Amino acid sequence: MSVILRTEKLRVEYKSRELGQMTKVALSGLDLEVSTGEVFGFLGPNGAGKTTTMNVLLGFVPPTGGTASLFGIDVRQPIARQRIGYLPEMTYYYKFLTAEELLRFYAQIFGLPRAEADKRIDETLKLVELESARKRLIKTYSKGMQQRVGLAQALINNPDLLILDEPTSGLDPLGRMKVRDIIQRLKNEGKTVFFSSHELGEVETVCDRVAIISNGDLKAAGPVQQIMGAHPTLEKAFLNIIGYKE
């Protein structure tokens, strides 16, 4: 298995806007590796640096130090994002477009030929169960449907790597189950999924490996069973690793 996502000594500092304040270190020397075909869970408490890591991987935030690459290409190059799909935590899409128009727009950005774009639009809308609502404006969709449109846009280019930022956040149990099923199906298709989540039960079910970060530091990384060790659940192991005392 080849490594398709790598960070080496990744460091991100934010300058504080308040006078006299030091810079805030969001990530301090993060080393991560994700290989092809893995479902990788990226865990940590709020403010640990999960979203910052994803923002660096997607080129939204430049790293202060270290390197980050996707498929061996520096993340600052737009071409590094040619084979990835991304679902942000809060999904909002152009409300004045229909799901079909939105997917066609993104397919065009990926440079898919017309026939292939049509095929991918049909496939992804079928996968996220939005075929019947494809001609409706997105502003008329429920939250769960909007989340599924988000998943569809992340899959439009048939990506080799999916980056999902808390994909089940704010969804009802049925919506969560559907997203989990989709991740499972992608795993069966051999896709690599890198996702952050606070739903540790879900992570335990679908992930091959996990990494736990806290205060910008990598605390643990490895196969789920190894991280759990003697703890009965991943949640107990997680709380122990981040140093939470009951």
Binding of residue 110 to another protein (CB under 8 A): yes
Residue from 58, 145, 203, 234 binding another protein (CB under 8 A): 58
Least separation, in Å, of the C-beta of 80 and another protein? 8
Is residue 177 within the footprint of another protein (CB under 8 A)? Answer: no
CB of 51 to another protein, least distance (A): 7
φ and ψ at 74, to 5 degrees?
-55, 135
Of the pair 44, 234, the CB lying nearest another protein is at 44
Quick note: the x/- pattern for another protein over 155-174, rule CB under 8 A, is --------x-----------
Are the beta carbons of 235 and 201 closer than 8 angstroms?
yes
Comparing CB distances to another protein, the nearer of 9 and 95 is 95
Q: Is the CB of 107 or the CB of 227 nearer to another protein?
A: 107
CA–CA separation, 57 and 67 (whole Å):
10
**Smallest distance from another protein to CB 101, Å:** 7
Pinpoint the alpha helices (H) of 98-188: 99-109, 114-127, 143-155, 173-188
Q: Who contacts 178 (Cβ-Cβ below 8 Å, separation ≥6)?
A: 128, 129, 144, 148
Strand order from edge to edge, sheet including 3-14 = 24-35, 3-14, 65-70, 73-74
**The binder of another protein chosen from 36, 67, 105, 236 (CB under 8 A):** 105
**Number of C-beta neighbours around residue 18 at 10 A:** 7
Given the complex with another protein, which of 76 and 185 has the nearer CB atom? 76
User: Minimal distance in Å, beta carbon 60 to another protein?
Assistant: 5
Member of 7, 28, 153, 197 binding another protein (CB under 8 A): 153
Number of residues that bind another protein (CB under 8 A): 34
Smaller CB separation from another protein, 91 or 214: 91
Let me know: does 29 contact 66? Beta carbons within 8 Å. yes
**Distance (Å, whole) CA 161 – CA 85:** 6
Which residues between 72 and 91 bind another protein (CB under 8 A)? 78-82, 84, 86-88, 90-91
Of the candidates 19, 21, 92, 188, which one interacts with another protein according to CB under 8 A? 92
The single residue among 16, 94, 114, 177 that binds another protein, judged by CB under 8 A, is 94
**CB contact set of 92 (below 8 Å; sequence gap of 6+):** 146
Kind of pairing between the strands at 65-70 and 3-14: antiparallel
Distances (CA, A) of 200 to 145, 182, 228, 234: 23, 17, 11, 6
Residues at the site binding another protein, with contacts judged by CB under 8 A: 51, 55, 58-61, 78-82, 84, 86-88, 90-97, 101, 105-106, 108-111, 150, 153-154, 163
